[in-house]
A = this chain, B = another copy of it.
Amino acid sequence: MDTGMIIKNIRRQLHDGGYKLTPQREATVLVLLENDKDHLSAEEIYMLVKQKSPDIGLATVYRTLEMLTELKIVDKISFNDGVSRYDLRKEGDHHFHHHLLCLECGSIEEVEEDLLGEVENIVEKRYDFLVKDHRLTFHGVCSQCRKKK
């Protein structure tokens, strides 16, 4: 799907939630789209948005990210390094993808496929817990770092 179409969908989602897609919000979403393989912090997103809209304020970026999180357009995740990171959810995805965090180089790889179907069933039955979403991160060593040794 092209960017224009994605933006159009997001505009509709905002309207459904009672929000407008202001130029600042659109610029923020564009940065997220252009960097959908990264896991940017609010500060990093702010720096990138500033290149498009130099007058945007940091608080606006924070508020936009909060709103996008509430609407489940982005997922907020923390990798225990003291900052929250924001990850655009793929169109039609109803689960949050998983992450592989390399303890040596700090890289974060994404695992698109949902490996938790069976595990969620067990949790729902055995713990009587209605699962809505999940966060799964593996800590380990990526192939590149293992090759180096």
Where the two chains meet, the residues of A that have a C-beta atom closer than 8 Å to any C-beta of B are 76-78, 80, 84, 100, 102-103, 109, 111, 115-116, 118-120, 122-123, 127-143, 146
Contact = CB atoms under 8 A, between A and B. Distances in A.
A139 B132 contact: yes
Given A80-B135, A100-B129, A131-B139, 19 more contacts: A76-B80, A100-B127, A102-B129, A103-B132, A109-B127, A115-B122, A115-B123, A123-B138, A128-B143, A130-B142, A130-B146, A132-B139, A132-B141, A133-B138, A133-B140, A134-B137, A134-B138, A135-B136, A135-B137
Secondary structure of the A contact surface, majority rule: strand
Contact of A119 (B103, B116, B127, B132): B116
Given A109-B127, A127-B109, A139 B143 contact: no
Counting every copy of the chain, the complex holds 2
Contacts of A119: 115-116, 119
Among the interface residues A118, A136, A142, which one has the most CB atoms of the partner chain B within 10 A?
A136
A134 B111 CA distance: 14
Nearest to A82: B84
10 contacts: A77-B80, A111-B123, A115-B123, A120-B138, A128-B143, A131-B140, A134-B139, A135-B136, A135-B137, A136-B137
Contact of A109 (B77, B118, B129): B129
A101 to B, nearest CB: 9
